[in-house]
Amino acid sequence: MNLDSLRLETTRVLDESIEELVRAGHLEPGSLIVLGCSTSEITGARIGKGSVPELGIIVAQAFLSSCRVRDMHPVFQCCEHLNRALVMDKSVLQSHHYLQVCAVPQPKAGGSVAAAAWKLMQSPVLAQSVQADAAIDIGDTLVGMHLRPVAVPLRGDYAELGHAHLVMAYSRLPLIGGERAVYA
């Protein structure tokens, strides 16, 4: 595993994927984007069996940077050992009135990316759940539970990062009514 080449690939893939989400989902400034990521899967190991903290830092930095440039709020999903809680800035948690929970993610309990995000963010907190505008799932981490209804899958230019599957989705407003309904 060459971390330098993974750094370049990760930065490119996340930057372009976030841009695709912003365009396709018509995301406005301040939108929440959840990232679920298995560093194990990126390197070709089975999810949860080969955590790579150095790679977690690379992924977290790339996601934070790409979101910052587009004025999006980055949210990082932890693994099932922390009940898929989410790392975010305290101001985001407070402005959305999310329920804060108490734990500090670690590479083996929360995941390498969430643990890295915790260390890189100014005022990190954990939320129990969110209703995000969009999500990126790297390595089959099941981020869909944190999207607002209705989730719209997005096939982007990248189907993988390293050895991990990469899937994306954004949410749209539910369409209600019937044949006489008029939509904006």
The whole-number pLDDT of residue 183 equals: 82
Task: Name, in order, each residue with C-beta under 8 angstroms of 168's C-beta and a sequence gap of 6 or more.
Answer: 17, 20, 21, 134, 135, 136, 137, 153, 154, 156
All structural domains of the chain with their residue ranges? 3-171
Looking at every residue in the chain, the average pLDDT score rounds to 95
Work out the average pLDDT over 47-70: 96
Residue 6's closest CA among 160, 154, 167? 160
* Distance (Å, whole) CA 35 – CA 99: 19
What's the whole-model pTM score?
A: 0.94
Helix (H, G, I), strand (E, B) or coil at 139: coil
Helices (H) and strands (E) in the chain, counts: 5, 9
pLDDT of 159 > 80? The answer is yes
The whole-number pLDDT of residue 169 equals: 98
DSSP 148-169: PSSEEEE--S-SEETTEEEEEE
* Distance (Å, whole) CA 108 – CA 155: 30
Report which secondary-structure segment, H or E, holds 35: strand 32-37
pLDDT tens profile 14-56: 999 999 999 999 999 999 999 999 999 999 999 989 899 999 9
The whole-number pLDDT of residue 1 equals: 65
**pLDDT bucket at 178, cuts 50 / 70 / 90:** confident
Kindly state the tokens that stand for 69. 């440039």
CATH code for residues 3-171:
3.40.50.10360
The whole-number pLDDT of residue 142 equals: 95
pLDDT of 107 > 70? The answer is yes
The whole-number pLDDT of residue 175 equals: 86
The whole-number pLDDT of residue 97 equals: 98
pLDDT tens profile 113-156: 999 999 999 999 999 999 999 999 999 999 999 999 999 999 99
Q: How many other CB atoms are there within 10 angstroms of residue 103's CB atom?
A: 15
